[in-house]
Amino acid sequence: VRAGLSRELDYSKADRAEHLRRVAEMAKLLNEHGIIVIASFISPSNDLREQMKQIIG
C-alpha cells in the first residue's frame, strides 16, 4: 500500500497519520462496494485509531 497509495509520504508523524487516513478511506470505499476488507496496520496512538474508526464506520 505504501509503495502505491502513499509513495510520496515518509515516516514522519504527520505522514504516517496521512497514510493511515488514506488506507481508512480506501477501506471505506471498498466496503461501500460490497468488498470485505481485512487490514492490519500499526497505529501508534488512540487518536489515530479513533479517526480510522470514524472514517470506516
pTM for the predicted model, two decimal places? 0.84
Asked about 12 being catalytic, the answer comes back as no
Q: Is 8 within a domain?
A: no
In whole angstroms, give the CA distance from residue 52 to residue 35: 18
Q: Is 33 exposed, middle or buried (0-12, 13-18, 19+ CB in 10 A)?
A: exposed
Q: Is 30 within a domain?
A: yes
Instruction: Give pLDDT tens digits for 1-51.
Output: 888 989 999 999 999 999 999 999 999 999 999 999 998 888 889 999 999
Domain count, the chain: 1
The answer to whether the beta carbons of residues 6 and 18 sit under 8 Å apart is yes
pLDDT at position 43 is 83
Q: Is 2 within a domain?
A: no
Catalytic residue among 6, 40, 43, 45: 43
Q: Is 18 within a domain?
A: yes
Q: How is residue 22 written as a grid cell?
A: 488514506
The dihedral over CA atoms of 20, 21, 27, 28, expressed in degrees to the nearest 10, equals: 160
Q: Is 45 within a domain?
A: yes
Q: Is 1 within a domain?
A: no
Q: Which domain holds residue 51?
A: 13-56
Amino acid, res. 51? Q
pLDDT at position 20 is 94
pLDDT at position 8 is 96
